[in-house]
Amino acid sequence: MKMAKCIVELERIYGIKHGGKDFYGNQFNKKESSNNFKTPNQEELAEQIGLTPQQLHNYKKLTTLIPELQDLVESNKLKATTAYKIYAILSQEE
């Protein structure tokens, strides 16, 4: 859960929304901000922290689970992969 929360915070700091970047460009059109800092997209962020884009996406999904499931993952009573599957089932039911 710590990694998931860190990823969400990094995306907030970098301004990454839905895989791209806010008004500085998107994942296809790279533009520099006024301070010459290139903001990364999700794929680049995943690479920087040593994950695949799919792993990054899976970690982010953990933050949308109900608090009880998040607690189980954090206390190692439930594996993250099982939590992803629960997330997928719950998403299909909605």
Q: Which residue segment(s) compose the domain that 54 sits in?
A: 2-93
How many domains does the structure of the chain reveal?
1
pTM of the model: 0.71
All residues at 6 or more sequence positions from 50 whose CB lies less than 8 Å from its CB, including other chains: none
pLDDT in tens, 3-39: 999 999 999 998 887 755 444 445 555 555 556 667 7
Q: At what angle do helices 80-93 and 53-62 cross, to 10 degrees?
A: 70
